[in-house]
Structure formats: C-alpha cells, structure tokens
Structure 1
Amino acid sequence: MAKFQPQAVKLHYHGETFDTKQEIHEISDAWLIGPDIVGLCLDDDELAFYKTDQLEKQDDGYHLYEDNHPQFFMVGTSKVGADLRKMDVSELANMSFADFVRIGFSLGEGSR
C-alpha cells in the first residue's frame, strides 16, 4: 500500500454574512492531509480540520456549505498565533496524535 501524500487543495466556503445575510463564497488554500481530512489556517492563529465526507468534492476543490453544518476541529489561540503561521499544515499528515499534542504543548510554553 502506498503512503499517503498530502496535497494542496482549494476549500470553497459557501455561507452568508452574519449581519446582512448576503451570500458569500470564499476560496482558501488548504491541504488534504489524509484521505479523509482537509486542513487549513484561519485568521493566522487557528487551524481548522474538516472531514472530506461532509464536503462536496468538485473539479475545483472541496466545497463546504454552511447549511450542512459539517463537523470540524479547530486548534489555536492568539497567544501562539505567530507560531501557527509558520506551521506547514501538510506536515500534519504524517504525525501521530501524540506528536500533534506535543507541538501544542511546545507552542504554549513560549506564550507564558
């Protein structure tokens, strides 16, 4: 079995603004970090991860529809934002959960 190779993808967000309820369509650079997980950096201090089975796969990337309420996992705080901006999300594909937790602890140590 071949080892999974992370790949750059586009994540298309379809939703609406909070105040005017106007429809919005935003396109972000993201990474397919596993066959079933897309990860991206948000606002320079948060990482978000989505399950691909809750996204719509199209030729131009993955489409996230706010109406479908896809599950997601977020990591980040403003205290470690500078460090998260330097993180290469594609490298997460080959990490164990324990490795990921260790990175979180090391980022937090620098913010004390």
Structure 2
Amino acid sequence: MINTFQPQAVKLHYHGETFDTKQEIHEISDAWLIAADVVGMYSDDGLVFYDTDRLEKRSDGYHLYENNYPRFFMVDTSKVDADLRKIDLPKLAYMSFADFVRIGFSLGREHYGEI
C-alpha cells in the first residue's frame, strides 16, 4: 500500500524583530504543507517555500524563528510578468520538479535564468 502525501492548510507563525527599533514581531500567515518537509506560502513579494527542518511544529501550526536561520527559497513577483497568486500551492505537492520548472517557464520571462 502506497502512502500518498495530502497537502494541508497550516498556519506559519513568524517570530523576529524590526530592523530599526528591534521590537519583537509575531505575525501569523496562512500557508500550505505541500510536502512532509516543505511549507509554502504567498508573501507580498512572491511565493516562499520553507524547509520544515528549522521550523518548530506546534498544535497551532509551524513557528519560524528568524534567529534560527530557516532554509527557504523564493520566487519573486517583481522579476516575473505574472500573478503568482494564480498558482495553486496544494497542487504543487503532486508535481514533479520538471512540472515546477515548467511553471517557471510559463510565468512570462524569456530568460528564466533571471529569476
């Protein structure tokens, strides 16, 4: 029997501090667990994917502590000619890496390497 992963909506709690006043910040965002070890979310600037290795899993979601240097990568909307909010994050859980790269090519840039 094959156990297939089911993407699920989660909360991502960001714990950090402001650059100027060094005041503590706690922000809560909607996100998706798109693989057992990857949380994806929309930000104002694009799509962000976090490795869950350095996130703390709690009953209310995943907690990201800025000082724990979480691993992530981002697809920046300012560098692509498309609205990344049209990408269905839960569907990424069922895609191969090649499919994901095809999405990048379909975002409207002739030179994908610029992203």
Contact 1:46 1:81 in 2 (8 A): no
Which residue of the partner structure matches residue 98 of structure 1?
98
The separation in 1 between residues aligned to 2:16 and 2:6, in whole angstroms, is 30
Unaligned runs of 5+ in 2: 111-115
Contact 2:77 2:84 in 1 (8 A): no
The separation in 2 between residues aligned to 1:109 and 1:15, in whole angstroms, is 34
Which residue of the partner structure matches residue 8 of structure 1?
9
Which residue of the partner structure matches residue 25 of structure 1?
26
Length, aligned pairs only: 109
Q: Is structure 2 residue 81 aligned with structure 1 residue 70?
A: no
Which residue of the partner structure matches residue 51 of structure 2?
51
Contact 1:40 1:89 in 2 (8 A): yes
Contact 2:48 2:75 in 1 (8 A): yes
Moved over 4 A (4+): none
Supply the AA of the counterpart residue of 1:36: D
Supply the AA of the counterpart residue of 2:103: I
SS in 1 for 2:57: strand
Unaligned runs of 5+ in 1: none
Supply the AA of the counterpart residue of 2:10: V
Distance 1:84 1:23, change over 3 A: same
Which residue of the partner structure matches residue 113 of structure 2?
none
Moved more, 81-90 or 13-22: 81-90
The separation in 2 between residues aligned to 1:19 and 1:50, in whole angstroms, is 25
TM-score normalised per structure 2:
0.88
SS in 2 for 1:108: coil
